[in-house]
Amino acid sequence: MENKTAESSFFNILNHKIEARKAENSFRILTTESNKIDFYSNDYLGLSRNQVLQKNIDSKYKEITEINKLGATGSRLISGNSIYFEKVESYLAQVFESESALIFNSGYVANLALLSSFPQKGDTILYDELCHASLKDGMRLSFADRYSFKHNDLLSLEILIKKAKGQVFIITESVFSMDGDAAPLAHLADLAQKYEAQLFVDEAHSTGIYGKNGSGLVSNLGLSSKIPIRVHTFGKGMGSHGACITGPKIVKDYLINFARSFIYTTAMTLHNLVSIHESFKYLELNSDLAKKLHFNIQYFKEKLKNNTQILPSDSAIQIVMGDCIEQIKSLANKIHLENMMVKPILSPTVKLGSERLRICLHSFNTTNEIDSLIDCLKQ
């Protein structure tokens, strides 16, 4: 009897929270894939649907399954490592102009590793207020103090650095996932150098898109040696899944020993590894994909250059702000009726009151498709 009461109060709490979400008009449900024109996925270069790449992955996979296991069978430190794993990591280190790279099962998990393992009790983490949830969750697992600085605001950051204790860590994204703008990376690197802080950059939305062979924005700006510790993810521009942390060999050794989200999990499957490897090899030979994407970005921006509801962004992520959730949702519905797919971004992913429409541009979007989207936005 007692148990029954406890159980019903548990479900009551769930129900109460769900009803509150519904009342805010921000209740989420899962939807299955859409066959509408894609202005919503992170598949910026169309690699997840690229037939040639799929064939390359299939044939490489067939070739190497004979000598490798399909599933990793354990964590990297027990039975999950392989020569092929290490080969892919060396290859990635080369792509990212780094001494080493360590693969993680996802960007989320890589960010948990980064921020839970390096900052220690007595240290200070200073992070851009718009940093991704995975970075924030990583910090929550650390015993260091943490404070946010105003978005891309060097002055706000410097004030905090001056007050910070212990080793200082500065955390940012090269391209912000829900705003699409870029961090002032060169200035941040200078500031980090001035105060002997460590600057970590999450390159989730720039990997594949910028730099030679998709090496990211840091590399594109010639800052790889000034910002060696970075997270590159493979589930967005690379059309696959997983992530790696780059850095000097000592960083890799440290993570293998202290990053719990690396140590206590089964390693990634062989198919996933092959997909990552082949995606980068494909980009090496097909730099036109990123060029086409950048052309589409410029095309979209030029056509909407006087529209004050579009946030400034040079990336594939373009943001339309609205007055309220209802307006954003009704704009999204209007676009859906024109056979195009976009997604509203609601609180708590973004701050309450700053709900928005997130448009993702791709290399495969035609100018006609972009024109149709712009017509909807202009109406």
Contacting ligand PLP within 67-106 (CB under 6 A): 106
Residue closer to ligand PLP, measured from CB, 131 or 328: 131
235 near ligand PLP, judged by CB under 6 A: yes
How far apart are CB 176 and ligand PLP at their closest, in Å? 7
243 near ligand PLP, judged by CB under 6 A: yes
With contact defined as beta carbons under 8 Å apart, do 223 and 203 qualify? no
Residue closer to ligand PLP, measured from CB, 111 or 148: 111
Distance, C-alpha 103 to centroid of its chain: 15
Q: Where are the alpha helices (DSSP H) in the chain?
A: 2-23, 51-65, 83-95, 107-117, 133-140, 154-163, 185-194, 217-220, 249-258, 260-263, 270-285, 288-303, 325-337, 367-378
363 near ligand PLP, judged by CB under 6 A: no
Q: What is the largest CA-CA distance in the chain?
A: 67
Enter the tokens of residue 121.
């009790």
**Exactly one of 56, 98, 100, 134 binds ligand PLP (CB under 6 A); which one?**
134
Residue closer to ligand PLP, measured from CB, 173 or 278: 173
Strand, coil or helix: what is 37?
strand
Residue closer to ligand PLP, measured from CB, 49 or 136: 136
With contact defined as beta carbons under 8 Å apart, do 189 and 182 qualify? no
Contacting ligand PLP within 28-67 (CB under 6 A): none
Enter the tokens of residue 352.
């309450």
Contacting ligand PLP within 167-226 (CB under 6 A): 173, 177, 202, 204
How far apart are CB 132 and ligand PLP at their closest, in Å? 4
Q: CA 347 to CA 19: how far, in whole Å?
A: 15
Enter the tokens of residue 9.
């109060």
240 near ligand PLP, judged by CB under 6 A: no
Residue closer to ligand PLP, measured from CB, 164 or 185: 185
**Exactly one of 85, 92, 96, 132 binds ligand PLP (CB under 6 A); which one?**
132
Residue closer to ligand PLP, measured from CB, 204 or 331: 204
Total residues contacting ligand PLP by CB under 6 A comes to: 13
Q: CA 82 to CA 72: how far, in whole Å?
A: 9
Enter the tokens of residue 14.
């769930």
Q: CA 199 to CA 226: how far, in whole Å?
A: 9
How far apart are CB 234 and ligand PLP at their closest, in Å? 7
Per-position b or e across 304-326, b if 16+ CB within 10 A of its CB: beeeeebbebebbbbbbebeebe
118 near ligand PLP, judged by CB under 6 A: no
**Exactly one of 39, 108, 169, 280 binds ligand PLP (CB under 6 A); which one?**
108
Residues that bind ligand PLP (CB under 6 A): 106-108, 111, 132, 134, 173, 177, 202, 204, 233, 235, 243
